Amino acid sequence: MTGLVHRGLAGQVVEMLREQILTGVLPPGTRLNEVEIARDLGISRGPLREAIGQLVSDGLLVHVPNKGAAVFAARPEDVAALFELRAALECAAARMAAQRRRPQEVTRLRRVCERSRKAREAGRKLLYDLDLDFHRALMEAAHSPRIAEQVWLVQQQVIVLRSGLTSRTSHTETSLADHEAMAEAVAAGDADLAASLMEAHLGLVETQLLHSMQSEQSSQSEQPEARGGGAPEARRTERTETTERTAP
């Protein structure tokens, strides 16, 4: 890993770690080894701790007593609370977007959907960046910065949880279809339909996420405990430690 320039150092570390967390390079439950990360980046631990503090505030990292910072992880029973918050925020935002949208914002929504469709047809399995682009475009059309800020935080946590799971093609296809329908509802100025589509979309995503989490937990509990050998250790990165078993 190459060293970082000093301009906006902590901010650069924040975005680097954020990318690794959202893409699953650092899976849920992974503990960050500050010494190794600082050495790999060629920086002091001051900017790194500042970056970690920001990611804790954003909800992507949590402080584990006597162990430092670890990537956010949730139990199936915690997911409902996340989606209750998402539904309250994003259904309101979808309604506002249909009422307040401008032509250029409708264009952006449609373009994000087009890019997502092309990426899906090209075989991309991880579309978290385009998913975020769609929701950001919707927030812009809603013209409510406070709602947008809160949605951004919750949306990232959901992506983290999904990053540690085996993705399913049908889930991605359904999400794309939902986004396309919402974009057209916003374009038509149909606030009730936009909010209804968002509510149904989030309900489906929650159900799918819970099913995947529970299925993988059951699968892991049925696997015999590994004895000896160094394969699991070899798969760990040099700068992190996994504090709990996570999905592959």
Per-residue confidence (pLDDT) for residue 237, from 0 to 100:
40
Per-residue confidence (pLDDT) for residue 23, from 0 to 100:
85
Is domain 76-220 in CATH 1.10.3720.10, yes or no?
no
CA dist 211 and 224 (Å) reads 22
Q: Right CATH number for 9-73 from 3.20.20.70, 1.20.1260.10, 1.10.10.10, 1.20.1510.10?
A: 1.10.10.10
Residue ranges in the chain whose pLDDT is less than 70: 1-7, 125-127, 166-171, 220-248
> pTM of the prediction?
0.75
Per-residue confidence (pLDDT) for residue 243, from 0 to 100:
37
Residues 6+ positions from 151 with CB-CB distance below 8 Å: 86, 89, 90, 93, 135, 139
Per-residue confidence (pLDDT) for residue 240, from 0 to 100:
45
Edge-to-edge strand order for the sheet containing 240-242? 61-64, 68-71, 30-32, 240-242
Domain ranges for the chain, please list them. Answer: 9-73, 76-220
Residues 58-72 pLDDT 10s: 999 999 888 899 999
Strands 61-64 and 30-32, sheet pairing: unpaired
Per-residue confidence (pLDDT) for residue 244, from 0 to 100:
37
Per-residue confidence (pLDDT) for residue 134, from 0 to 100:
93
